[in-house]
Amino acid sequence: MVTENHKKIFVATYPFGVCDSKPKDILEEASSVEIVYNSLGRRLKVGEVGKFLKGVHGVIAGTELYGENELSQADSLEVISRVGVGLDSINFIACKKHNVGVTYTPEAPSDGVADLAVGQMINLLRGIFISNKLIRKNIWHRTMGRLLSEVKIGILGVGRIGKRVIKRLYGFGVEVFACDINPDLEFGKEYGVYWVSHEELFRICDIVSVHIPLNEENINCVNITDLTNMKEGSFIINTSRGPVVDENALEFVLENKHLGGAALDVFNKEPYNGPLTKFENIILTAHIGSSAHQSRYLMELGAATDCLNVLMGRKPDNPVPNEYWK
């Protein structure tokens, strides 16, 4: 029997509750709440989301698109609770128009992304991925690499994830250079960070790791000028969002053998099957930054908890900051 206070939640993200059942449990144990799961068994494509939103009060969202077209089909929606931190797939003008709140899980994926970034630094410097490919081709070649302590590492964006990367590098005795629009000077002093300009970061460092959010100002923030100004044989890593790095510019500098390589976990279009796949010295991963059991569990738990918080009239733990609504 449907009561007056009955709420319906659509779990759009897939998979959900695999790493730990608790996020599903707290949803299914909530009183007067009906849970509907993504029946397609994959990420929802453009044009598919809207048909699932009729009669839904809350959405546990992945990276699928929530724009005007989708929200205009939602007749009861109160909240989009994002599993993760990226908000570029959510149209806040449309959310404001349709009176839909948004929450996210800013801390939960950070350790997973930071681990991946540091792992890729070592992978690139030591040529681990290259050695793996050569052995599979029956070629025994001892690739000569460099230690982390031999190089200068640049961090573009020193927020939640950038700081975690720096903390992980601290024990390696690395020279860390950083650029941020609001540098945390106390943090920098504690971890021996050298603050530099955007231009200096790319000119000085042997590796630049990108950790900035995607917004209108940051599209192609890393451009052809930055990449060509990097040292010959240097590396770039992007675990933030694809459009932050100009993929055409990256293709150009790799084609001209200016860079030693790159590691990308994010792309302009995902799934990715573009021209960067032709280069042997680039590591391509399928947006796995937060795909660690603990990170995924905390993301799902936070999203489920805040979705219920909003629908039950409680204050959410992690509402999206006011700056996104401007």
> How far apart (Å, rounded) are the C-alpha atoms in residues 185 and 194?
10
Residue 83: phi and psi, rounded to 5, are -85, 95
Catalytic residue among 270, 280, 293, 314: 270
> How far apart (Å, rounded) are the C-alpha atoms in residues 90 and 70?
10
**270 noted as active-site residue:** yes
Catalytic residue among 64, 287, 296, 300: 287
Catalytic residue among 241, 247, 296, 300: 241
Given the structure tokens 């790319």, which residue do they identify? 202
Closest by alpha carbon to 124, among 232, 279, 253, 234? 234
Q: What is the DSSP letter of 6?
A: -
3-state helix, strand, coil in the chain (%, to 5): 35, 15, 45
Q: Which helix (H) or strand (E) holds 177?
A: strand 175-179
**160 noted as active-site residue:** no
Number of neighbouring beta carbons within 10 Å of residue 131: 16
Query: Is the backbone of residue 140 left (phi > 0), alpha (psi -120 to 50) or beta?
Result: beta
Q: How many helices (H) and strands (E) does the chain have?
A: 11, 12
**190 noted as active-site residue:** no
For the stretch 196-203, contacts whose Cβ atoms lie closer than 8 Å and that sit 24 or more positions apart, written own/partner, are: 196/154, 198/156, 198/226, 199/226, 199/229, 201/154, 201/156, 201/177, 202/154, 202/226, 202/227, 202/229, 202/230, 203/229, 203/230, 203/231
> How far apart (Å, rounded) are the C-alpha atoms in residues 188 and 158?
10
Residue 55: phi and psi, rounded to 5, are 75, 5
Which active-site residues does the annotation give?
241, 270, 287
